[in-house]
Structure 1
């Protein structure tokens, strides 16, 4: 009996060692990026937002809300069926030739989830591009919806600034970023995130790492400010080693705020006080759940935050490409459309690839999702 038990234990230990070895070598693949070290790490340690070996939110609060548990959420995800988390139909979209848009046009083209192209006063900006068709480092991971992944790195024009809100896989995509490197003049990212770009072949001249409250002068009258959000980051087993950002883009003709990912907090009132004129707010609205409300806003909070920003127009993003939460795929659009009817801002709900004319207050948008099953 003892011999059998010893054999069983030996086999189990061997299986555990094999599993550990497989994970170890798999994690060496380039898509996992790199942790900051050397001079980069020393700079990080000087940030007031880095304490006890990781970046911290301005207001500390648990990721999982009171009354919920991580184990419980994982169990529900495995055992409970949530209807319509992905569309059956292919999403409608428009293939706009970004390379032929006149330089004097101020436009946004949204690519699904949080990826978008912004041309403003002749400056070309690409934000959180994900064109690989997936939001996971695993081959069987989260895939893009049919029709939502029609753009590639080859479709992008030369980019003046690529902005990164944070280093999660649904915002920082290895394949996309690697392919874009020859087209990108500069990357603006949070402290620590530059280690990923450096590993993937970007030069030191291309990488600009910023803390909250920093700025980057683009040209006279055009400045990109990096501000806080309430979120986290990480691509491996070590979290919060690269700072998460929101952006305020101030140009001669208009001001644009991109929220990045993050739960609701008092920062929106403070942003409004610091930057009192916001023409467009690009707001995270999707992949939410009351259990992790602290790091992803509910639609009601998105509407409230946009109102507090005193934005004239709002574009909701972080939806209609990947299933990363339990709600139906079109619920973010349904809810924010209803919530925005009585607000002072104008809601823009373009199809993927549709050109938003930032200077055109008369432009209208269809509720395109209603025809999708």
Structure 2
């Protein structure tokens, strides 16, 4: 178990070994350091210092984990193709598939965000953090997809098995700079891929997208850290705007995103895999709420939890802490079960589905 955990984290906390510069086109990006041949985060004087690589790896190797994997089954609402087809084609619907993966039905058109249907968040099919639950809909039952959005290239967000299985069914891919090469290596035709720097906008049909900043990092091996960009996204469909944070630590950019692209109806916010050893790359529950309030969004929707064991906190803790804060502050909280559709702008009853589970 410990070895499996370490193997997957190698890709997430790789070294900073030097390598040849990437595409010359990236040098035009304010996020790209041409001297280092890597993307970087903007200055953040308030960023919390993390531990060094040696301390992180020592802890990962030796520290004991408790309560990070659920004992009771995670509730999953199974979905058939008929269930998907029955969702009102005039509405905007969000369906959580697990972790940060989502299926969206935007006024009759299908979209995916960071889809991971594979068994493990790992470079290996036989080793690494294993899913707590199956996806609510089978990969083979997904409808044809207009657009697929990626936030960055980590294994818990970019899954080779899923991308290869979907190649014939996805019309267009929207990704941060550099991630297109990852997709081409998985067999995606280059003419279907659109790469974006922060604040660049795209459109497919009547859906508008904006790649927005995030404070994170990238890499899929020991030698390629930060050779691709990471991003959050604003998605506009009809009258509604959806924000997806991707992964990232707390930074002042949340307020700027809300000011430039609000009002945001639904904010899909990272909530899980935080740790005092790496505070700059994932938010604590309190920071998640602060970021949501900075955005000025209407509904807080929690993602990045309840599917993979990627940190040391108990698996329920991210959900419990945010739910308590939301109650105290009177925030509109959305915590749908895996597979439960949420229709933006429609009345709904929210349930703390994890309550009572071990």
Q: Which residue of 2 aligns with 1:53?
A: 37
Shift in Å, 1:78: 2.5
Secondary structure at the aligned position of 2:191 is classed as coil
**Count of paired positions:** 334
Alignment of 1:200-349 (within 5 A): 200-220=186-206, 222-236=207-221, 237-349=223-335
Separation in structure 2 between the aligned mates of residue 176 and residue 119 of structure 1, nearest angstrom: 19
Separation in structure 1 between the aligned mates of residue 338 and residue 208 of structure 2, nearest angstrom: 27
Q: Single out whichever of 318-327 and 87-96 deviates more from structure 2.
A: 87-96
Shift in Å, 1:149: 3.5
Q: 1:250 to 1:150 in 2, by over 3 A?
A: closer
Separation in structure 2 between the aligned mates of residue 118 and residue 207 of structure 1, nearest angstrom: 19
Shift in Å, 1:142: 1.0
Shift in Å, 1:81: 1.9
Secondary structure at the aligned position of 1:341 is classed as helix
Residues 247, 258 of structure 1: 8 Å contact kept:
yes
Structure showing greater radius of gyration is 1
Separation in structure 1 between the aligned mates of residue 298 and residue 323 of structure 2, nearest angstrom: 15
Alignment of 1:154-165 (within 5 A): 154-165=140-151
Shift in Å, 1:207: 0.4
Residues 96, 355 of structure 1: 8 Å contact kept:
no
Q: Which residue of 2 aligns with 1:364?
A: 349
Alignment of 1:149-188 (within 5 A): 149-188=135-174
Separation in structure 1 between the aligned mates of residue 53 and residue 48 of structure 2, nearest angstrom: 7
Residues 148, 320 of structure 1: 8 Å contact kept:
no
Deviation digits for residues 307-326 of structure 1 (CA, Å, limit 9, x no counterpart): 11111101110000001100
Residues 63, 292 of structure 1: 8 Å contact kept:
no
Out of 120, 124, 127, the residue aligned to residue 140 of structure 1 is 127
Alignment of 1:185-200 (within 5 A): 185-200=171-186
Secondary structure at the aligned position of 2:95 is classed as strand
State whether structure 2 residue 49 is matched by structure 1 residue 65: yes
State whether structure 2 residue 96 is matched by structure 1 residue 113: no
Separation in structure 2 between the aligned mates of residue 276 and residue 199 of structure 1, nearest angstrom: 36
Shift in Å, 1:156: 1.5
Separation in structure 1 between the aligned mates of residue 20 and residue 348 of structure 2, nearest angstrom: 48
TM superposition score normalised by structure 1:
0.84
TM superposition score normalised by structure 2:
0.88
Residues 47, 251 of structure 2: 8 Å contact kept:
no
Q: Which residue of 2 aligns with 1:86?
A: 69
Q: Single out whichever of 135-144 and 319-328 deviates more from structure 2.
A: 135-144
Q: Which residue of 1 aligns with 2:109?
A: 123
Secondary structure at the aligned position of 1:371 is classed as coil
Shift in Å, 1:116: 0.4
**Structure 1 spans left out of the alignment, 5+ residues:** 1-26, 28-35
RMSD of Structure 2 on Structure 1 (CA): 2.2
Separation in structure 1 between the aligned mates of residue 294 and residue 106 of structure 2, nearest angstrom: 24
